[in-house]
Amino acid sequence: DCTSAETVLVGNHLVDQYGMDNLEVGSIISWAMELYELGIITSKDLDGLDLRFGNDEALLEMVERICYRKGKVADALAQGGIQASKIFGKNSFDYLIQVKGMSNLHSDERATPALALNIATASRGSDHLRSRPAIDLYHLPEKVLRKIYSSPMPYEGPLSSEHTEYVGKAWQVFWQENCYMGVDCLGICKYHTTFLGATLPNFEDWPKVLYYNTGLEFTPEELWDISERCNMIERLFNLREGLTRDDLEKGDMLNHRYFDEPCRRGAPDVVGRMIDTEKFVQMIDEFYEHKGLDKKGKPKAKTLKRLGLTNEPSHML
């Protein structure tokens, strides 16, 4: 565990200078440290480096090694976690916290089912910027949630103010997925929308943004449809590249540790929690239904027709 602010700052500076991603590098080094303490990789594999948790010098050394691919361990890590696990073997993949090849973003979703669903189903992998309902952590009154999540498309299903609950979370993730895609289409910042604040702009406000800046006229419903269509195109791309629902390398599934290792740190209502497998599977079913997918995660013919994607060449039907 790194407790030095200086080490964190230096490490972030190094990955920026080397042109690497700090979340990915930090996660993959953490994974390598765990493998080292488990004996799956050794000091000999690391040319004498003591890669235990808490060794700040080794942490910074690994940042440089990965960038320059110095040594067989760093060279393997530079290829990403999945490829590295195949090189290391010895059940190393079992300890790799990733989705679709992207390492976890230094958060722990075992106590927050909605956030767990977000990273499992995000098109880019373990990514909080695809569909994370961050406001789910605020314990907002159901009346406030209803106002947000029933516009521009009506929703009369259940919602819960409790972030440890499963009910209604599939719709929240689906809504946020379309919200964030709308943000990306507009070219604005997610932090200035319904991501971190319940009162920040969303679909109801964006038509004015578009009109006053471009003269183009759209309704909130039209912007929702555009967002949903773009998300479906990403889904079709992933299907073409081999996505299957329960595949731990390419699918909408989490590492087993979310389901069988309780959370050991955090707030009192977090410690001891883990994701309920049965309820999580049900959440994915509900999420697929909202998106117009079948049980395997492939778009239904009527969904493609509704979104105007019948002739899209990369679909799998």
Pair 173, 114: CB distance under 8 Å: yes
Terminal alpha carbon distance of the chain? 47
Domains for the chain: give ranges and CATH numbers: 5-96 (1.10.569.10), 113-306 (1.10.599.10)
pLDDT tens by residue, the chain, 317 residues: 678 899 999 999 999 999 999 999 999 999 999 999 999 999 999 999 999 999 999 999 999 999 999 999 999 999 999 999 999 999 999 999 999 999 998 889 999 999 999 999 999 999 999 999 999 999 999 999 999 999 999 999 999 999 999 999 999 999 999 999 999 999 999 998 998 889 999 999 999 999 999 999 999 999 999 999 999 999 999 999 999 999 999 999 999 999 999 999 888 889 999 999 999 999 999 999 999 999 999 999 999 999 999 887 655 54
Q: Are 181 and 227 in contact (CB under 8 A)?
A: yes
Torsion of CA 146, 148, 152, 158, to 10 degrees: -30
Those residues with Cβ within 8 angstroms of residue 126's Cβ, 6 or more apart along the chain or in another chain: 97, 98, 99, 100, 102, 103, 104, 105, 119
Taking alpha carbons only, the member of 201, 200, 220, 210 closest to residue 153 is 220
Angle between helices 220-240 and 169-186 (to 10 degrees): 100
Q: What is the DSSP letter of 299?
A: B
pTM: 0.94
